[in-house]
Structure formats: structure tokens, C-alpha cells
Structure 1
Amino acid sequence: MNFLTLRWADLDPNFHLRHSVYYDLAAQERLSILDRHGITIQAMQAENFGPVLFREECQFKREIHLTSKIYLETKLLKMRKDGSFWTIQHEFLSDSKKLHALLFVEGSWIDTIKRKLARPVPSVVFKGMESLPKTADFTYA
């Protein structure tokens, strides 16, 4: 779980977290967790691949304010057995584990030279995706 540092600029006129900030925080956390599991920016550049999103959805449950103590927990919800398609779940949780928002992204990997989906995925991707933390209801799609 990653503790979030919120900024004044992250707030909307109602003094709670702006909707687009949830997506930005989740994107940053996704890149961090991929990096921790071997899918680094350097590996992506060296092997000419990168993540591509098809769908992103956030369910807002409770407001988050500037002084809220919020953690972001990121886990793999679904993945094809070859690692080519996946769904990642982000939970925005208070320090008392109350759910404030649930964000899902569905994606794949793109060959950055051919500009087509990467098939098969590079081995570094498969190993990294396999090692990501998984939800209790994780499934291979």
C-alpha cells in the first residue's frame, strides 16, 4: 500500500479531491508497481513495448479531503494466461481501511514500433505481471 500525499491543487471547488486526480494517482502507482516487479521504463524502451489502456473507470464511495490520510492499494484482478490482457484494481483506502474509491483499468501491451498489440508479450512482462499482488477474486481470463 502506498500513502498518498495530496496537494491543494488536487482539490475541486467543493474542497474534496478532484475526480481526475484519482486517475492521475492510480496511473502513477501503476507505473511504480510495474517498476517494482521488473517492468521498468528502461525495459519497455529496450524491448519497444508499453502499456495501453482500453477502459478506465472509477467508482467514488466517500469524499477525500486535503487532510485525509489515504492509501492506494493496487492489485491484479484479471489476466490472460499469456499476460497479454489484464485488469488492475486500485483501492483508495483510509487509514481505518474504509473504501473511498475503487478504480479499474483494462489494458494490454503495445509494440511501440509496429504500433500494434505486442504478441507474444516480452518475458519481462509475463514474469512481472505474474508476480503482481492479486485480488482475492483474481482470475485468469
Structure 2
Amino acid sequence: MKHIQLRWADLDPNFHLRHSSYYDLAAQERIDILDAYGITLQLMKTENVGPVLFKEQCEFRREIHLGTKIHIVTSLLKMKRDGSRWIIQHEFLSEEGKLHALIQVEGSWMDTVKRKLARPVPVAIFEGLEKFPKTPDFEYL
């Protein structure tokens, strides 16, 4: 769980968190968690592999205003057994535990030289995904 600090630039003309800020915050959180589990930018460069998204979807439940204390809980919802495809979920929660937004991203790994999906997934990437926090209802695809 990560506490997020909202900025004035994150707001829209209605004075609540603009839709694209949710996606930006979730993307940064994914990269931070990948890094924490050994899937660093340097490792991705060395292995010529990077994450690629096929689908990104958000359900907005409650407004988030400047000064609202929000936490993001990021978890792996589903994954192929070889780590080649995955669905990551981001929950934007208030201090009271109320769900404000839910983002799910479906993705894979791209070979950054061949510009095609990476198969097989490098061992270090797979090992990092295995350590990634999982939802209570996590399942293999």
C-alpha cells in the first residue's frame, strides 16, 4: 500500500482528481513495485524487455479532492503460469478503506529489439512477478 500525495496539477476544472491522473499514478506505482521485486529499469534494459499494455480500464466510484488522503493498493489479479501475460489491479482507497477507483491493466512483455512479445519471459522477470503482491482471488490464466 502506498500513500499518494496529490498535486494541484492533478485536478480538473471541477476541483477533483482528473481522470488521466489516476492512470499516471497507477503507472508509477506499477513501476515502483516492479523495481521493489527486482524488475528494475536496468534489468529490463539488459534483458531487452519492457512491459506493454493491451487494456487499461478504470471504474470511478467516488471523487478524490485535493487534501484527501488516498492509498493505492496494487496487486496481481491474474497471470499466465509462465509470466507472459498478466492483469494488475490498483485500488484507490481512502483512509477509511472506501474504494474511490479501481484500475485494471492487462499486459505482457515486449522484446524491445525485435518489437514482438517476449517469449519466453526472462527468468529474472518471472521471479519478480512471482513475488509481486497478489489479490485474495488471484488465479493463473
Shorter-chain TM-score range: over 0.9
Partner of 1:80 in structure 2?
Answer: 80
Q: Which residue is 2:45 aligned to?
A: 45
Deviation digits for residues 51-101 of structure 1, max 9, x if unmatched?
000000000000000010000000000000000000000000001110000
Following superposition, the deviation at residue 21 of structure 1 comes to 0.2
- Distance in structure 1 (CA, Å) of the matches to 2:10 and 2:114: 37
CA shift, 1:30, in A, is: 0.2
1:107 and 1:8 mapped to 2: Cα distance?
A: 30
| Rounded Cα–Cα distance in structure 2 between residues aligned with 1:81 and 1:137 | 16
| Structure 1 residue 49, shift from structure 2 partner | 0.4
Q: What amino acid sits opposite 1:2 in the alignment? A: K
Aligned length: 141
Structure 2 unaligned blocks of 5 or more: none
% same residue? 68
The one-letter amino acid of 1:117's match is: L
Q: Residue in 2 aligned with 1:21?
A: 21
Gaps of 5+ in 1: none
Query: What is the DSSP-based 3-state SS (H/G/I as helix, E as strand, rest coil) of the residue aligned with 1:83?
Result: coil
- Structure 1 counterpart SS, 2:121: coil
* One-letter amino acid of the counterpart of residue 93, structure 2: L
Aligned to 1:106: 106
Describe the SS at the equivalent of 2:35: helix
SS of 2:138 mapped into structure 1:
strand
Q: Which runs of 4+ in 1 moved over 4 A?
A: none
Corresponding letter in the other structure for 1:80: K
- Distance in 2, matches of 1:97 and 1:115, equals 41
Shift of 1:32: 0.2
Match of 2:125 in 1: 125
Q: TM-score scaled by structure 2?
A: 0.99
How large is the Cα RMSD of the aligned pairs?
0.4
Distance 1:76 1:106 in 2: 10
Alignment of 1:3-22 (within 5 A): 3-22=3-22
Displacement after TM superposition at 1:42 (Å): 0.3
Offset of residue 112 of structure 1? 0.3
